[in-house]
Amino acid sequence: MIDRIEELERQATAAIDEATTTVALEQVRVQFLGRKAELPNLLRSVSDLPPQERGAVGKRANEARKALEAAIGERVAGLEATELDARLIADRIDVTLPGDPPQPVGRLHVLTQTRREIEDVFLGLGFSVLEGPEVETVHYNFDALNHAPTHPARGRTDTFYTGDGDVLRTHTSPMQIRAMEQYPPPLYVIIPGRVYRRDSDATHTPQFHQVEGLAVDKDITLADLKGTLLDFSRAIFGAEREVRLRPHFFPFTEPSVEIDVSCFNCKRNGEPCQVCKGTGWLEILGAGMVDPNVFAYVAEHGYDPEEIQGFAFGMGIERIAALKYGIPDIRTLYTNDVRVLEQFG
Ligand code: PHE
């Protein structure tokens, strides 16, 4: 019996020495020390032996088991360290290599690019950027902007009303009032944002974007408006641009104008120009001098029309982008077809 134990111990020791991986070593452990292995079985059946043999056999078998467990433990530690080293070398990543395949980084939406370009121009001219609510009261959207009670834009065929009688703002102009309530003159601000109208065709979408501008100071004139928008037009459409003012009407400006920029597409190829339809001018925005009736709504905030004047303007970002990039149908800006969007910027 003792001979058999020693034979098993020798076999197991040799197997432990030969194992080169932790997996192989675990197999050796199961083979010699597992539930069904001979040595543990032998230990369990020591009580079946004649009493005079039990002591010696039990002692020897126990020693063998402990020695083998210790040998396996030691060898496991060594193998684990070796395997970890090997894995670290095999898994090493060279972070300086290019991605495989290199991923395209995408780009900003053309409307975001255009909004940022517009903001940059006016920031450069000393304007600040404000934002305002898209759900607006009738007071700010119409009343305080001098709209007559019967003005057609108030109708439900033109404007989205909420259940509470508020509106989805139809323009960014209500922010003229909110800005003047909040900040005393002199005031130079632009307000980009979403606006909503019941309108839908190739050049109108029910939701679109505007940038409002408001400058209030002493001695502001229509010439300041023209000079500011000439600078703007040249920054966006090219240094050769001219602007012209055409008379128009808005309830909250007097006088009111529409601003045209000279066509940047004409004479490119000698054929009749598709963009300006041969007129040489492109309408880009509405503007005017702030109506004294509007200042009356904010008189208590330091806006006395006897003391200060102002100009205001409002432009559609979609329209600016469509003109600049020649986009025939602005609805394509909202359908997320990357074949369209990839073409800009
Ligand atoms: N709010 C006007 C519009 O949406 C544009 C505008 C703004 C006109 C400021 C004059 C002054 O059509």
Give me the pLDDT at residue 340, please: 92
pLDDT digits (tens, 9 = 90+) for 27-71: 999 999 988 988 888 888 888 888 888 888 889 988 989 989 998
CA of 279 to the centre of ligand 1 (A): 23
All residues at 6 or more sequence positions from 314 whose CB lies less than 8 Å from its CB, including other chains: 171, 172, 173, 210, 211, 212, 213, 285, 286, 287
In this structure, are residues 311 and 330 in contact, taking their beta carbons and an 8 Å threshold? no
9 vs 256: which has the higher pLDDT: 256
Give me the pLDDT at residue 43, please: 84
Write the CA distances from 196 to 50, 158, 162, 183, 288, integer angstroms.
Answer: 101, 9, 12, 26, 22
Angle between helices 22-33 and 51-90 (to 10 degrees): 170
User: Amino acid identity of 329?
Assistant: D
**Pocket of ligand 1 contains residue 312 by CB under 6 Å:** yes
CA–CA separation, 126 and 170 (whole Å):
27
pLDDT digits (tens, 9 = 90+) for 223-272: 999 999 999 999 999 999 999 999 999 999 999 999 999 998 887 667 77
93 vs 289: which has the higher pLDDT: 289
Kindly report the CATH class assigned to 110-341.
Answer: alpha beta
Angle between helices 317-325 and 110-124 (to 10 degrees): 100
**Pocket of ligand 1 contains residue 288 by CB under 6 Å:** yes
Q: In the chain, which ranges are E strands?
A: 128-129, 135-136, 167-168, 187-196, 207-217, 243-250, 253-262, 281-290, 309-316
pLDDT digits (tens, 9 = 90+) for 126-138: 999 999 999 999 9
**Residue owning tokens 């002692």:** 59
In this structure, are residues 187 and 213 in contact, taking their beta carbons and an 8 Å threshold? no
Give me the pLDDT at residue 268, please: 65
| Atom of ligand 1 at shortest range from CA of 315 | 5
Give me the pLDDT at residue 269, please: 67
Would the pLDDT of 178 be above 80?
yes
Give me the pLDDT at residue 221, please: 98
CA–CA separation, 132 and 111 (whole Å):
19
Average pLDDT over residues 167-186: 98
- Domain range list for the chain: 2-90, 110-341
CA of 322 to the centre of ligand 1 (A): 19
**Pocket of ligand 1 contains residue 253 by CB under 6 Å:** yes
**Pocket of ligand 1 contains residue 168 by CB under 6 Å:** no
**Pocket of ligand 1 contains residue 208 by CB under 6 Å:** no
**Residue owning tokens 């000393």:** 126
**Residue owning tokens 């121009």:** 121
**Pocket of ligand 1 contains residue 303 by CB under 6 Å:** no
CA–CA separation, 215 and 89 (whole Å):
66
Would the pLDDT of 117 be above 80?
yes
CA–CA separation, 87 and 84 (whole Å):
5
Pairing, β 135-136 against β 167-168:
antiparallel
| Atom of ligand 1 at shortest range from CA of 316 | 4
